[in-house]
Amino acid sequence: MITILARKTRQLASLTILGAMLVMAGCAHPVSLRADVNYPSDKTVDTAVGYFISDANRKLEVTTPAGGGDKMRYFPYRDLEPAILSTLGSVFRKVYSVPETGRAAYIADHHLTFVFEPVLTTDSSSHSAIFWPATDFDLTIKVTALNPAGQTVWNQEFTGHGHVDKGRSLVDVPPAKAAAAEAFDKLRKALMDDPQFQESASR
Amino acid sequence: MQRIGMAVLCLMLGACGAVAPKYTPSAENQLALRNSDLVHVNVGSIGVSSETINKATVRGGKFSTPSASFNAYLQDSIQTELSQAGLLDPASHDVIGGTMTRNDFDGSGMSVGTADLAADFWIDHDGKRIYQGQKTAHFEWKSSFAGMTAIPAAAQGYMQAVQKLVHELLADPDFQKALHK
């Protein structure tokens, strides 16, 4: 009797594990890419600029590899937009988000000198076969700057890579934070070093 | 084998504690603060209307925040937004205060999770009240049957609900008028 009970219990446990594996297999965990980018804005060029992120990109959810055969999903534009704003706000005095509709009128009304259009590309991976949080994250920010007439005046690409051995978080991505810090530092330096942006106050 | 099965079942369905992520500023809130020519401001304490405000669970486990309480998390959120916009000054004569009056959080849904938050906010200038407003926020997020997915989604969803509540305050024209340079 005891043997039969033990066998039934083992079967139930096996079924539970099998069921869990079926439910969790290839699971895409929701995470947030916190950039923690916060630059000082006390020495800015006295001009107004804008940045443009389409509504579709703001809603864009991407899925990239994580550990243990799992994946993670996140909203790169929504999560990193504050970092874009902080970066531009540390270089230019006023920064506006340019809307999709009425774009030309908005640029004219707010006297925007440049409009920056970022394109974000991400990838992730993990060395762990057991834990799902990613240990590595790559971020590429391709930025195009347009003048008020809509002509491209600047185009550059910035990359960042983050790696962690520990610090596994279930809700955010520590290597993404490091990757974002590296990429946005490069973007900020490029904006501060470029004469056409630094001299834009007199335009 | 039985122990492993129970552990896996626990992970699937939840029944473990969860913590909201550290507050991250939102782009909407930063835009509302950065382009409005506001004076520097300090953040006082955000209290609670009832002790039940600080009792929340998700999938049978305790739900908490990285701050000392849910009202402290709201207070830290406003501070974080102001700090990111370069507008936080602990020595300012203008002080934002408030009371959290609602903190309903439901991550039990198999497809949708919800949060309904509310707070009374005010600004005092040298002790004189110059702004008062009641703000509410409702936020929904995509949930899941599996606790391992639903619990982090609920934690993210809660932070977004707080971002939304803070936006109701920061984008209020009367709030901006009270702090205009």
Report pLDDT digits (tens) over A92-128.
999 999 999 999 999 999 999 999 999 999 999 998 8
Q: How far apart are CA A64 and CA A176, in angstroms?
A: 12
Q: Among partner residues A9, A20, A97, which is closest to B8 by beta-carbon distance?
A: A20
A133 membership: H or E segment, kind and range? none
* Whole-number Cα distances in Å, B15 to A86, B11, B61: 38, 8, 5
Tell me whether B88 touches chain A (CB under 8 Å): no
The CB-based long-range contact list for A200-203 (8 Å cut-off, 24+ gap) reads A200/A45, A200/A47, A200/A92, A200/A113, A200/A114, A201/A45, A201/A46, A201/A47, A203/A47, A203/A113
Print the domain residue range for B55.
2-178
Q: Which of A145, A127, A123, A178 is nearest to A49 (CA)?
A: A145
Q: Would you give the distance in Å from CA A109 to the centre of its chain?
A: 30
Beta bridge partners of A124: A137
Q: Residue A26's pLDDT is what? A: 63
Distance of CA B43 to the CA centre of its chain: 15
The stretch A188-197 carries a mean pLDDT of 95
Amino acid letter, B59: R
Strand order across the B61-64 sheet: B18-19, B61-64, B57-58
Q: Do B30 and A86 touch (CB under 8 A)?
A: yes
**Nearest CA distance, B85 vs chain A (angstrom):** 8
- Position A104: which residue type? A
Q: Closest Cα of chain A to B98: distance in Å?
A: 25
pLDDT of A3 reads: 61
CATH of the domain at B53: 3.40.50.10610
**Chain B CB contacts of A71 below 8 Å:** none
Query: How many domains, chain B?
Result: 1
Instruction: Give the separation between CA A74 and CA A180, rounded to whole angstroms.
Output: 14
- pLDDT of B6 reads 44
pLDDT, position B105: 92
How far, in Å, CA of A50 to CA of A147, rounded? 10
> Does the distance separating the beta carbons of B83 and A38 come in below 8 Å?
yes
Higher local confidence (pLDDT), A182 or B142: A182
| Lowest-pLDDT range of A21-30, A140-149, A191-200 | A21-30
> Tokens 């599996």 — which residue?
B146
CB-CB contact of B1 with A10 (8 Å): yes
Q: What is the pLDDT of residue A22?
A: 43
Residues B76-101 pLDDT 10s? 999 999 999 999 999 999 999 999 99
Among left, alpha and beta (phi > 0; psi -120 to 50; other), residue B153 is alpha
3-state DSSP assignment of residue B141: strand
Does B54 reach chain A within 8 Å, measured CB to CB? no
User: CA–CA separation, A141 vs A139, rounded Å?
Assistant: 7
In angstroms, the separation between the Cα of residue A94 and the nearest Cα of chain B is 6
d(CA A89, CA A1): 74
Question: Mean pLDDT for chain B?
Answer: 90
In terms of C-beta density within 10 A (0-12 exposed, 13-18 middle, 19 or more buried), how is residue B181 classed? exposed
Nearest-CB residue to B34 (from A30, A95, A171): A95
